[in-house]
Amino acid sequence: MELDFERCYRAVDSRDQRFDGWFYTAVTSTGIYCRPSCPAMTPKRENVTFFPSAAAAQRAGFRACKRCRPDAAPGSPEWDVRADLVGRAMRLIGDGVVDREGVPGLASRLGYTERHLNRMLTAELGAGPLALARVQRAQTARILIETTDLGLAEIAFASGFGSVRQFNDTIQEVYAQAPGQLRERRPVRKAEAGTISIRLAYRSPLHIASLLDFLEQRALPGVEERSGTTYRRGLVLPHGSATVALTPADRWVSATLRLSDVRDLAPAVARCRRLFDLDADPDAVDATLGADVALRDAIKNEPGVRVPRAVDGFEMAVRAIVGQQVSVAGARTTLTRMIRAAGGFDGAPPTDGPGLGSGTALVGFPAARTVADLPDLAFGMPVARRETVRRLAEAVADGKIDLEPGADREESMARLMELPGIGAWTAGYVAMRAIGDPDVFLPTDLAVRRGAAALGLPSTPKALEQHAERWRPWRSYALIRLWRAS
């Protein structure tokens, strides 16, 4: 990633928050690195070096600024947009794959050799997969040190470090303080017993109403719920289950997590960021879409509309299939029946238990293998659609279809469309919400056509698709706006 010095320095001099996560500023006179919006005095030009990643800055011997906490900056929006090897690798590293499976596991998922993967990441980001994962481990450790009463040795292994010594050395190197010193100066803000409370930064603006409205309309009882400006849901994570409550605020989303295993903190955070599309660059999106006169007023009135994504690719694919040619309410009823049959809850969705303030115990969506093994009566849908869901579940469980954020988008969509009952609309919807493709367009969708007509756009599929070419590479965001207009 090439960084233009003048452009980067102007962003630092103006403390422009939009560039947080795009690059990092290292100051040679102090030995620290910061996010561009750091409130400290602007360093002299001759003392500044720019890096494309926090890992690259650390590799060059710089430590994280204690004031602006660059390790907690929003992620680069580039990794959401790019479908190449580096983009896929960054999404998987963010989900904690290196901590769980090592670099060999990451390379295997991507279909490349470790050597090639390391070479590509180092060329673009100044650091290989181990160094990039190390930054994430350090941030996870800092969060646990500052927000829990876990012992430091427990935190070391929960954060993915191989030993306490490695943990101590990394924290000292990254934050210029020992773990014990970080705990002594931890913020007053602390979660209730058994929970972890953190702030998830994003680039403003964020249109909160559109995000929460979309999720609420599709919420599955017992899995997710909205209460005011707080959205809660259950998660299934690599080491266990979790419940999360997300409340958007100015410049960050407050996240309160209850984890059955603290090793799942990093993947839980990654999935929450993905769900709310927090790494997006709303200015870039709105500038492109706003160049179209038909969308200009909508963008002026509702800046920062995001694409609500998914915490589980398989769940989103099942929702897309079940929702074909039925109402949202009908799909919700069918899916709730499936979850109950899969053992998610007995009888009606429960109303007691640890729901993070809601009084409701929330569960995650059942795993692909569990759904594949359900009896026919558990599906409550036409035979053809039931078989589509079952074949999808079997393919995902057997590793034949990858619907996670690091998936090859084109390959996954092609394999999805090989299944009977899955067409272009369903595959496109899954690509947008599960795999995070920012440039999906569904011109045959009835609600999209209604929204287009309401905005004075062509409403026939062919004409609308031609018009939408001017919205690339952000057609997924235009879709959300058309749905709202309908």
68 is catalytic: no
Q: Are 285 and 442 in contact (CB under 8 A)?
A: no
Which residues fall within 8 angstroms of residue 188, CB to CB, at 6 or more apart?
none
Say if CB 195 and CB 272 are below 8 A apart.
Answer: no
Annotated active-site residue 34? The verdict is yes
CA distance to 49, 222, 236, 370, per residue, from 367 (Å):
46, 16, 8, 5
Q: Please report the domains of the chain, with CATH numbers, ordered by start residue.
A: 5-72 (3.40.10.10), 78-147+149-184 (1.10.10.60), 194-282+307-434 (1.10.340.30), 284-306+441-485 (no CATH)
pLDDT at 351: 42
3-class DSSP state of 246? strand
C-alpha 140: how far from its chain's center?
A: 16
Q: What is the pLDDT of residue 189?
A: 53
Say if residues 382 and 414 touch (Cβ distance below 8 Å): no
Token readout for 277 is 């599309």
> Cα dist. 194→225, 245, 317 in Å?
21, 14, 32
DSSP element (H, E) containing 71: none
- How far apart, in whole angstroms, are the C-alpha atoms of residue 265 and residue 270? 9
Confirm if 204 and 17 have CB atoms less than 8 A apart.
yes
The residues facing 246 across adjacent strands are 231, 255
Q: What is the Cα–Cα distance from 97 to 396, expressed in whole angstroms?
A: 18
Contact call for residues 218 and 328 (beta carbons, < 8 A) = yes
Backbone angles phi, psi at 237, to 5 degrees: -115, 170
For residue 327, what pLDDT is reported?
82
Distance CA 24, CA 27 (A): 10
User: Can you give the pLDDT at residue 182?
Assistant: 87
Tokens representing 179 are 């773990």
Determine the 3-state secondary structure of 23 from DSSP. Answer: strand
**Which segments of 30-71 are extended strands (E)?**
32-34, 48-51, 63-64
Which one, of 246, 240, 247, 277, lies nearest residue 262 by Cα?
A: 240
Question: Rounded to whole angstroms, how far apart are CA atoms 411 and 402?
Answer: 9
- 95, 277, 437, 445: the catalytic one is 445
Tabulate helix, strand, coil % of the chain (nearest 5).
50, 10, 40
Residue numbers in the chain where pLDDT is lower than 70: 1-2, 185-193, 345-360
Identity of residue 226: R
The DSSP code sequence of 298-337 is HHHHSTT------S-HHHHHHHHHHTTTS-HHHHHHHHHH
pLDDT digits (tens, 9 = 90+) for 394-445: 999 999 999 988 899 999 999 999 999 999 999 999 999 999 999 999 999 9
Residue 415, SS3? helix
How many other C-beta atoms are found inside a 10 Å radius of the C-beta of residue 221? 18
Catalytic option among 8, 34, 65, 272: 34
Q: What whole-number distance in Å separates Cα of residue 123 and Cα of residue 181?
A: 35
Written as six digits, the tokens of 416 are 């999805």
Nearest CA to 182 among 156, 152, 145? 145
Q: HEC string of 191-226?
A: CCCCCEEEEEECCCCCCHHHHHHHHHHCCCCCCEEE
At 192 the pLDDT is 63
Tell me the three state secondary structure of residue 245: strand
| Rounded-to-integer distance, Cα 1 and Cα 56, Å | 12
Give the number of C-alpha atoms closer than 13 A to the C-alpha of residue 187, restricted to the C-beta side. 12
State how far the Cα of 72 lies from the Cα of 143, in Å rounded to an integer. Answer: 10
For residue 382, say if its preceding peptide bond is cis, omega within 30 degrees of 0: no
Distance of CA 178 to the CA centre of its chain: 30
- Please state whether beta strands 63-64 and 32-34 pair in parallel, antiparallel, or not at all (unpaired): parallel
Alpha-carbon dihedral angle through residues 167, 259, 193, 149, given to the nearest 10 degrees: -10
pLDDT single digits (tens) 173-187: 998 889 999 888 665
